[in-house]
């Protein structure tokens, strides 16, 4: 990938979209990111939000090794707006993001990471996370936990957790490119596996800014999620 779309300032944001999972909790033969909502496959809907965003200069989609060609074909219409690369993923989501990051153009100063299976992300949320990352180096979006949270062991309540400071984390997450690379390199060296990118940055001792996410920005995980998403699309 050589060309990168730049803002007037000369800055450029790259988006990495991990889409290399098998969708075990969803089940079925086709990985969920290739299943359709009303208008299009989930991966195309998700990637489209980034292709249309004025700050995004390049997109890297990480696909299952068996589905790279399929993803390339599917995403071809977006390439008119912005360069889109598709690379094969790894065993864990974190491996996939690391492999995607390796394909991000050197000129990108901010990298966003967003799950392929969150197709209801909005332009405004992408903008908010990019701006927070430009200011603070690392930013995530999240919502305060609404339900009572308990720690459960062997089907009995051990304790009720104080939820007043608990937030449920979404993507997109955005980082200064050098910081995200350093965080992934260190996690890889240490054999540490986190459940989001921010955890890897937190391990460096770097502060992570939290902006308010969106209720609608769900991760399509189970068949019930897919039914809800289809009702909304
Ligand atoms: N992902 C990935 N590489 C992996 C695992 C997951 O790129 N090795 C991606 C998924 O494709 C998805 C996002 O990370 O877009 C969030 O992961 P999740 O919802 O857990 O998807 P799956 O891992 O596919 O589903 P499951 O955990 O039910 O198998
Ligand atoms: Mg998974």
pTM (two decimals): 0.91
Q: Where are the alpha helices (DSSP H) in the chain?
A: 42-52, 68-75, 93-101, 123-136, 177-190, 197-202, 223-232
Nearest ligand to the CA atom of 19: 1
Q: CB neighbours (10 Å) of residue 48?
A: 18
If phi over 0 gives left and psi between -120 and 50 gives alpha, with beta otherwise, what is residue 137?
left
Q: Enumerate residues with CB within 5 Å of ligand 2 (an ion).
A: 21
Two tokens, residue 41 = 């496959």
Two tokens, residue 74 = 């599917």
Q: What's the N-to-C CA distance of the chain in angstroms?
A: 32
Fold of 8-232: Spore Coat Polysaccharide Biosynthesis Protein SpsA; Chain A (3.90.550)
CA distance 158 to 22: 33
Cβ 46 under 6 angstroms from ligand 1: no
Output the pLDDT for position 38: 80
Per-residue pLDDT at 178 exceeds 60: yes
CA distance 81 to 72: 15
In 3D, which of 233, 232, 220 has the Cα closest to residue 25?
A: 220
Cβ 22 under 6 angstroms from ligand 1: yes
Give 135 Cα–ligand 2 centroid separation in angstroms: 30
pLDDT per position as a tens digit, 179-211:
999 999 999 999 999 999 999 999 999 999 999
Output the pLDDT for position 233: 80
């Amino acid at each position: 990938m050589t060309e990168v779309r730049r803002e007037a300032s000369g800055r450029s944001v790259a988006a990495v979209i991990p889409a290399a999972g098998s969708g075990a909790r969803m089940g079925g033969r086709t990985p969920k990111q290739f299943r359709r909502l009303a208008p299009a496959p989930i991966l195309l809907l998700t990637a489209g939000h980034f292709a249309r965003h004025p700050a995004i200069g390049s997109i890297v989609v990480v696909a299952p090794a068996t589905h790279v060609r399929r993803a390339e074909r599917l995403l071809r219409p977006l390439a008119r707006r912005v360069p889109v690369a598709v690379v094969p993923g790894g065993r864990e989501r974190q491996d996939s993001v690391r492999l995607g990051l390796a394909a991000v153009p050197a000129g990108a100063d901010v990298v966003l990471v967003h799950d392929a299976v969150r197709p209801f992300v909005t332009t405004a949320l992408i903008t908010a996370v990019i701006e927070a990352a430009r200011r603070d180096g690392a930013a995530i979006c999240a919502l305060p936990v609404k339900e009572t949270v308990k720690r459960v062991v062997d089907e009995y309540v051990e304790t009720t957790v104080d939820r007043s400071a608990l937030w449920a984390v979404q993507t997109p997450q955005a980082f200064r490119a050098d910081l995200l690379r350093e965080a992934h390199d260190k996690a890889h060296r240490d054999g540490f596996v986190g459940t989001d990118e921010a955890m890897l940055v937190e391990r460096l001792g770097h502060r992570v800014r939290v902006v308010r996410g969106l209720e609608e920005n769900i991760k399509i995980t189970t068949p019930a999620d897919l039914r809800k998403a289809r009702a909304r699309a």
